[in-house]
Each structure stands twice: as structure tokens, then as C-alpha cells.
């Protein structure tokens, strides 16, 4: 199921790239002809998007490769790298637009409103279609790219409204004002996604509520007296990895153990985790992973040392 989803993710990103690339060229020419710095700024911005989408596309393809000796978890984290790069490109692009638009508040120039209108209609259509295609995606990468495209759609809607206004009245200062407004809005959202990506990159728990829920479900299994070294992290924001140590309050025969493990599997099934490793510890056993700073004869009376991690 996941492979199919990722195959189409790659196709969606490829399509968005092709549309964006062709359109960026049209924009540069259009911006030059209409003397609209808003469109020129948008063109440079779209060029940044092209680079971002291209890298995302390549990284998404790499992400589908089978696990290897070197990358034993597979290559999914590469798409996280893609999301990180894209976020940075987008932030830089936004800063660039602000640096262009702010000085123009002082002496705005009047652009060719009719030409702007034509480009804006085209822009909304092309980017809207690409954004619609990517909105079906769930990967962080696709979400980041969707922001790129939504940003472009918003930009074009702004240019559309602006060109209509400029056809009626000459208020050229509206042009930079508009680009500043929508750039700040996007910047806010991208920074949020960028921080989320960075957290996953640093192997933070992808979802603390989910971790607590998993812990509660494991704790609820019969004869589990304690859980420690419970680690939940994510390969790409979508495929999670879980490891945990369960301390049991009784010894088990082989057949009972099989049933017990089936109970764990049943409890974990709904989470659709990509990799799970569960260590079982019997009453008289010491935990292999106890940090050295604890006394070696520490028995399991205080096994909660790891809960706060």
C-alpha cells in the first residue's frame, strides 16, 4: 500500500515540477514586458520553487529505494532532507521578496495592468492545478511543496485583484503592499513546518500523545509490570519506529510466550508502525541497557528511571 502511495507521490511532484518550470520562464518574460516588479519577484520566487520541487522529486525517488546494508532503515529520511532544504529555500525566497517590496513602498512604479491580469489568470490556473494535485499527498515533503504552490496561488490571486484595481485607479503602492502581506503569511507557516521537520530530523518523538497512547496500550497487556526505554521516532514524518523494554511479572513457558507476543502484536497493529522492536525482561533479569551511572546491582524496584525520556 505504501509503495503505491509513494509511486504516485513521485509522479505528483514530477508533474508539479514540469508545470512550474515552464511557467517560471513565461513569468520572467511576462514580468519584463509588463514592467511589473511584483511579477518579476514572483518569477524569482518560482525559480526557487522549481529548484525545491526538483530536489524534492529526486529525494522522493531516492526515498523509495529498498533498504541496504548501509541504510538499513531504507532511504525514507532523504525526503525529510528534501523538506528541510525546501523550507530553507522558501524562507530565503520570502526574505528576498521582502527586501524587494519594502524599498518600493517609497517610490512605486505603475505596471501594465492588462498584461498583469492575463498572467495572473494563467498563474492561478497553473499553480492551482499543481497545488490541487499535491494536496493529496501526506509526506512532509509534499506538504512543504504544497505550501510552495499555495504561496504561488495566493501571490497570483493578489496580482489578479491588484491588476483589476490598477485598471480602475492608479495606486501603484498597492503592488508592494500586497506582496509583503502574503509573504509574511507564508513565512509564518513555513517556519512552523520547518521546525517540525527539524524536530523529526533530530529524532524527536513525532507525536507525544501517540507515544503516551502506545505506552498505555503496552502497559494494559496482562503481566506487564513496567515499561522502560520506550523510544518512538519517525523516518519521514509518516513511517514511525518503536522500541521498548517490557518487564514481565512472571516467567512464561514457550507456548504462553507465543500468546503473549500475539497480544503485543494485536495491541500495536492499529498504529501501523514501520519497525518495532520489543525486548521482554523476566522478573530476575537485569536490563541490558541500564546506563552506567546506575549501580549495577539495581534491581527492578525503581525501573522508572527512563520514563521521562
Give the distance between the most distant pair of CA atoms in the chain.
Answer: 86
29 vs 108, 130, 183, 232, CA distance in Å?
A: 21, 21, 22, 50
DSSP 261: H
Q: Give ∠ CA 15-43-29 in degrees, rounded to 5.
A: 100
> Which residues partner with 234 through β-bridges?
240
Place of cell 517560471: 24
pLDDT (average), residues 182-207: 86
What pTM, to 2 d.p., does this model score? 0.67
- Residue 37 grid coordinates: 516588479
Q: Tell me the three cell numbers of residue 169.
A: 485607479
pLDDT for position 305: 46
Residue 7 confidence (pLDDT)? 55
Res. 304: pLDDT tops 70: no
pLDDT of residue 6: 55
Nearest-angstrom CA–CA distance, 8 and 170 = 46
Q: Which residue has the higher pLDDT, 60 or 234?
A: 234
Q: Residues 6 or more apart from 16 whose CB is under 8 A from it? A: 53, 130, 133, 134, 145, 149
Radius of gyration of the chain (CA): 26
* Residue 130: predicted pLDDT: 82
17 in Cβ contact with 54 (< 8 Å):
yes
* Sheet bearing 240-248, strands edge to edge: 224-234, 240-248, 275-281
Which residues have C-beta within 8 Å of that of residue 48, sequence separation ≥ 6? 89, 90, 92, 93
- Helix locations, the chain, DSSP H: 2-34, 37-63, 77-101, 113-134, 140-168, 174-201, 208-219, 254-269
Query: Chain-wide mean pLDDT for the chain?
Result: 82
Residues forming a β-bridge with 243: 231, 277
Name the pLDDT band for 286 (thresholds 50, 70, 90): confident
Query: Predicted confidence band at 296 (pLDDT cuts at 50, 70, 90)?
Result: very low
Q: How many CA atoms lie within 13 A of 98 on its CB side?
A: 13
- Cβ neighbours, 10 Å, residue 119: 27
Environment class of residue 31 by beta-carbon count within 10 Å: exposed (0-12), middle (13-18) or buried (19+)? Answer: buried
Looking at per-residue pLDDT, the higher value among 306 and 229 belongs to 229
**Across residues 102-121, what is the average pLDDT?**
86
Instruction: Identify the band that residue 291 occupies on the pLDDT scale cut at 50, 70 and 90.
Output: low
- pLDDT above 90: percentage of residues in the chain: 22
For 53-106, the pLDDT digits (tens) are 788 778 777 877 888 899 888 888 887 888 888 888 888 878 887 887 888 888
Confidence bin at 211 (pLDDT 50/70/90)? very high
Assess contact for 55 and 86: CB atoms under 8 A.
yes
* 131's grid cell: 497545488
Give the mean pLDDT of 207-229: 91
Amino acid at each position: 500500500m505504501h509503495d503505491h502511495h509513494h509511486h504516485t507521490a513521485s509522479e505528483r511532484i514530477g508533474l508539479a515540477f514540469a508545470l512550474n518550470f515552464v511557467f517560471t520562464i513565461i513569468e520572467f518574460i511576462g514580468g519584463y514586458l509588463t514592467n511589473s516588479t511584483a511579477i518579476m519577484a514572483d518569477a524569482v520566487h518560482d525559480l526557487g520553487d522549481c529548484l525545491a520541487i526538483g530536489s524534492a522529486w529526486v529525494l522522493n525517488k531516492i526515498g523509495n529505494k529498498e533498504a541496504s546494508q548501509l541504510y538499513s532503515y531504507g532511504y525514507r529520511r532523504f525526503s525529510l532532507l528534501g523538506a528541510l532544504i525546501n523550507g530553507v529555500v522558501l524562507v530565503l525566497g520570502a526574505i528576498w521578496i521582502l527586501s524587494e517590496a519594502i524599498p518600493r513602498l517609497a517610490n512605486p512604479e505603475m505596471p501594465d495592468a492588462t498584461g498583469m491580469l492575463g498572467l495572473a489568470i494563467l498563474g492561478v490556473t497553473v499553480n492551482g492545478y499543481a497545488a490541487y494535485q499535491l494536496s493529496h499527498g501526506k509526506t512532509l515533503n509534499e506538504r512543504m511543496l504544497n505550501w510552495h504552490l499555495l504561496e504561488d496561488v495566493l501571490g497570483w490571486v493578489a496580482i489578479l485583484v491588484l491588476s483589476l484595481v490598477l485598471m480602475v485607479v492608479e495606486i501603484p503602492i498597492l503592488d508592494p503592499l500586497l506582496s509583503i502581506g502574503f509573504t509574511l503569511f507564508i513565512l509564518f507557516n513555513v517556519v512552523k513546518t520547518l521546525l517540525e521537520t527539524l524536530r523529526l530530523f533530530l529524532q524527536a518523538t513525532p507525536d507525544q500523545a501517540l507515544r503516551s497512547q502506545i505506552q498505555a496500550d503496552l502497559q494494559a497487556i496482562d503481566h506487564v509490570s513496567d515499561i522502560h526505554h520506550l523510544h518512538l521516532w519517525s523516518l519521514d514524518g509518516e513511517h514511525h519506529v518503536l522500541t521498548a523494554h517490557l518487564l514481565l511479572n512472571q516467567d512464561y513457558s514457550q507456548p504462553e510466550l507465543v500468546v503473549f507476543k500475539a497480544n503485543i502484536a494485536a495491541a500495536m497493529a492499529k498504529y501501523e508502525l514501520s519497525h518495532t522492536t520489543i525486548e521482554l525482561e523476566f522478573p530476575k533479569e537485569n536490563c541490558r541497557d541500564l546506563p552506567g551511572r546506575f549501580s549495577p546491582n539495581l534491581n527492578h524496584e525503581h525501573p522508572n528511571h527512563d520514563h521521562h525520556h
